[in-house]
Amino acid sequence: MMGRRGPARGRSRVATVAVWLVLGVVLAYILGPLVFMVTASFMPAIEITRIPYRWIPQSFYWQNFWRAIRGNDGRFYFVRNMINSVVVATVITLSTVILSTMAGYGLAKFEFRGRRAVMLLIVATMMIPFQVIMIPLYLIATRMGMQDSYAGLIVPLLVNAFGVFLMRQYLLTFPNEILDAARIDGASELQILRRIVFPSSWPAMATLAILTFRSQWDNLIWPLLIAQSREMQTIPQYITLFTEEKYTDEGAMMAAAVLASLPIVILFFGLSRYFVGGARLFSAHKG
């Protein structure tokens, strides 16, 4: 393959260098800020704003992490908000995956009146951006007395149309023979769902779980509306407190950012193919 000679080979070497140059510049743009976050979290404020920035911390300044957890008021809301984030994201992920698989299975493998209408509704709902419905949703949730509660943070987001669509597309290709064979063996529909459909949908469910968990971990706008008390806030809100004008503590801010990213980074390293697979799924079902 590399058997070319003379100018052609020289040109391809130039091309390779050019490609790596471009990739290198973009790589610096992408990885630089991440490296900055981690290194700055170990530096006292004076070192973070030093010119030029030293990319290697001179010492490990652990106090940043202590202040990030303790908070400027010393009331350790970090712990509570972290727990809130974990609880909210986990519950929403579980319910999204289970309900989406159930509904996707119902839509993919059963004939019933109004199925087409339901499918149409699902696809139409997928197009609704959260920002459009957040105000009415806030009014509904407060009318149901759900402000400043786990119910308020969780219930409106228990399932989303995208998940249903995803699971339906996945289950369309599931062989009917297996389902029929189980029915002939006398399995009930619920048993089929639990023993056959759930276990064999594992890859799609894992992808949906990752996507959902990540987007919930990232969710700022809904908690901002529904959770006003510090006790019920989530980690994204906690971080915004560090960025506010009146309270700027660069080191603690980066330490909080690192701590907030830890759970998701651990998930990413363990399950990166599902993270990446989520993006690929889009192009898989485009038609």
Partner 1 sequence: MRRKRGSKGILARRGRWGWAFVLPTLVLLGLFSVYPVVNAFYLSFFQKHLLSNAPPKFIGFGNYTYLFRSPTFWNSLTATAIFAGGAFAMLVGMSLLLAVLISSRQRFQRFLQLAFFSPAVVSTVVAAAIWLLIFDPRGIANQLVNALAGTPGVDHRWLVEPGRLQLATMLVYVWKYVGYFTIIFIAGIGTIPRSLYEAARVDGANAWQVFSRITFPLLRPTTLLVSVVAMIQCLRTFSTQYLFTQAGSPRSPIDVITLNVYYTAVRTFQIGRASALSIILFAIMLFLSWLQFRVARSEEVSYL
| Contact set for partner 1, span 129-158 (CB under 8 A) | 129-140, 155-158
Nearer to partner 1, 193 or 196 (CB): 193
- Three-state SS string across 160-189, please? CHHHHHHHHHHHHCCCHHHHHHHHHCCCCH
Q: Rounded distance, CA 287 to CA 275, Å?
A: 22
Where in 224-283 is the site for partner 1 (CB under 8 A)? 224-225, 235-236, 239-240, 242-245, 250, 253-254, 256-257, 260-261, 264-265, 268, 272, 275-276, 279-280, 282-283
Q: Are the beta carbons of 146 and 155 closer than 8 angstroms?
A: yes
Binding mask 85-104 for partner 1 (x = CB under 8 A): --------------xx-xx-
- Nearest CA to 150 among 89, 99, 220, 95? 89
Specify the stretch interacting with partner 1 by CB under 8 A; choose among 64-72, 75-83, 116-124, 201-209.
Answer: 116-124
Contacts of 17 (CB under 8 A, 6+ apart): none
Residues 155 to 184 in contact with partner 1, rule: CB under 8 A: 155-161, 164
Contact stretch for partner 1 (CB under 8 A) within 62-70, 73-81, 122-130, 199-207: 122-130
Those residues whose C-beta lies under 8 Å from the C-beta of residue 89, and which sit 6 or more positions away, are 212, 213, 216, 217
User: How many other C-beta atoms are found inside a 10 Å radius of the C-beta of residue 243?
Assistant: 12
- Smallest gap from Cβ 287 to partner 1, in A, equals 7
Cβ at position 204, least distance to partner 1 in Å: 16
The stretch among 36-44, 67-75, 76-84, 145-153 that binds partner 1 (CB under 8 A) is 36-44
